[in-house]
Amino acid sequence: MTNNKKVLTWLEEMKALVKPSNIVWIDGSEEQLEALRAEAVSTGEMIKLNQEKLPGCYYHRTAENDVARVEDRTFICTTKKEDAGPNNNWMAPAEMYAKLKALYDGSMDGRTMYIIPYSMGPVGSPFSKIGIELTDSIYVVLNMAIMTRIGTPVLEALGEDGDFVKCLHSKKDVNPDERYIVHFPEDNAIWSINSAYGGNVLLGKKCFALRIASYLGKNEGWMAEHMLILGLENPQGEVKYICAAFPSACGKTNLAMLIPPEILKGYKVWTVGDDIAWLRINPKDGRLYAINPEAGFFGVAPGTSEKTNFNALEATKKNTIFTNVAINNEDKTVWWEGLDKNPPADATEWTGKLVNGKDFVAQGGKLAHPNSRFTAPAINCPCISPEFENPQGVPISAIVFGGRRAKTAPLVYQARDWEHGVFVGATMASETTAAAAGAVGVVRRDPMAMKPFVGYNMADYFGHWFEMGKKMDADKAPKIFHVNWFRRGDEGEFLWPGFGDNMRVLNWILDRCDGKVDAKETAIGYVPFKEDLNTEGLDITDEVMDELLSVKKEYWTEDIENQKEFFAQFGDRLPKEISDELKALEERINA
CA dist 78 and 149 (Å) reads: 29
Shortest distance in whole angstroms from residue 316 CB to ligand TSX: 16
Binds 25: which of ligand TSX, Mn ion, none (CB < 5-8 Å by kind): none
CA dist 188 and 107 (Å) reads: 22
Residue number with CB closer to Mn ion (275 or 389): 275
Residue number with CB closer to ligand TSX (255 or 381): 255
Among the listed residues 56, 86, 452, 498, the single contact to ligand TSX using CB under 6 A? 498
Residue number with CB closer to ligand TSX (21 or 433): 433
Shortest distance in whole angstroms from residue 253 CB to Mn ion: 9
Active-site option among 57, 77, 167, 250:
250
Neighbours of 162 (CB within 10 A): 16
Residue number with CB closer to ligand TSX (489 or 498): 498
Q: Which backbone phi and psi does 479 adopt, to 5 degrees?
A: -80, 150
* CA dihedral sign of residues 564, 570, 572, 578: negative
Residue 294 binds Mn ion (CB under 5 A): no
Neighbours of 284 (CB within 10 A): 8
Among the listed residues 71, 494, 516, 561, the single contact to ligand TSX using CB under 6 A? 494
Residue 310 binds ligand TSX (CB under 6 A): no
Per-residue binder mask for Mn ion (CB under 5 A), 148-167, x = binder = --------------------
Residue number with CB closer to ligand TSX (165 or 400): 400
Q: Say if CB 382 and CB 229 are below 8 A apart.
A: no
Confirm whether 243 is a catalytic residue.
no
Q: ∠448-450-451 over CA atoms, to 5°?
A: 115
Q: Which backbone phi and psi does 276 adopt, to 5 degrees?
A: -135, 140
Among the listed residues 485, 508, 566, 567, the single contact to ligand TSX using CB under 6 A? 485
Measured CA distances, 564 to 123, 189, 459, 586 (Å): 44, 35, 14, 11
| Helical (H) or strand (E) element with 452 | none
Q: Which of residues 252-291 bind ligand TSX (CB under 6 A)?
A: 254-255, 258
Residue number with CB closer to ligand TSX (462 or 486): 486
CA dist 107 and 179 (Å) reads: 13
CA dist 253 and 309 (Å) reads: 8
Shortest distance in whole angstroms from residue 275 CB to Mn ion: 4
Strand partners, 398: 242, 479
Shortest distance in whole angstroms from residue 453 CB to Mn ion: 8
Residue number with CB closer to ligand TSX (254 or 316): 254
Binds 502: which of ligand TSX, Mn ion, none (CB < 5-8 Å by kind): ligand TSX
Helix, strand, coil content of the chain in percent (nearest 5): 35, 25, 45
Residue 509 binds ligand TSX (CB under 6 A): no
Report the residue count for the chain: 591
Spell out the residues 6+ positions from residue 30 whose beta carbon is closer than 8 angstroms to its own.
Answer: none
Which letter does DSSP use for residue 530 in this model?
Answer: G
Residue 225 binds Mn ion (CB under 5 A): no
Site stretch for ligand TSX (CB under 6 A), options 31-39, 102-110, 251-259, 291-299: 251-259
* SS3 label, residue 450: coil
Site stretch for Mn ion (CB under 5 A), options 64-72, 191-199, 273-281, 361-369: 273-281
Site stretch for ligand TSX (CB under 6 A), options 285-293, 310-318, 334-342, 498-506: 498-506
Q: How far apart are the first and last CA of the chain?
A: 67
Shortest distance in whole angstroms from residue 495 CB to ligand TSX: 9
Size of the site for ligand TSX (CB under 6 A): 13
**CA 526, chain centre distance (Å):** 28
Binds 10: which of ligand TSX, Mn ion, none (CB < 5-8 Å by kind): none
Q: ∠262-268-272 over CA atoms, to 5°?
A: 145
CA dist 363 and 305 (Å) reads: 22
Site stretch for ligand TSX (CB under 6 A), options 61-69, 248-256, 263-271, 409-417: 248-256
Q: Say if CB 221 and CB 471 are below 8 A apart.
A: yes
Among the listed residues 45, 83, 225, 275, the single contact to Mn ion using CB under 5 A? 275
Binds 255: which of Mn ion, ligand TSX, none (CB < 5-8 Å by kind): ligand TSX
Binds 275: which of ligand TSX, Mn ion, none (CB < 5-8 Å by kind): Mn ion
Shortest distance in whole angstroms from residue 444 CB to ligand TSX: 15
Among the listed residues 10, 310, 466, 499, the single contact to ligand TSX using CB under 6 A? 499
Among the listed residues 56, 86, 303, 489, the single contact to ligand TSX using CB under 6 A? 303
Residue 370 binds ligand TSX (CB under 6 A): no
Shortest distance in whole angstroms from residue 483 CB to ligand TSX: 9
Measured CA distances, 147 to 30, 62, 152, 295, 561 (Å): 15, 18, 16, 5, 41
Spell out the residues 6+ positions from residue 272 whose beta carbon is closer than 8 angstroms to its own.
Answer: 229, 230, 231, 241, 290, 291, 292, 385, 387, 388, 394
Spell out the residues 6+ positions from residue 488 whose beta carbon is closer than 8 angstroms to its own.
Answer: 406, 407, 438, 494, 495
| Residues at the contact surface with Mn ion, assessed by CB under 5 A | 275
| Residues at the contact surface with ligand TSX, assessed by CB under 6 A | 249, 251, 254-255, 258, 303, 485-486, 494, 497-499, 502
As annotated, the active-site residues are 250
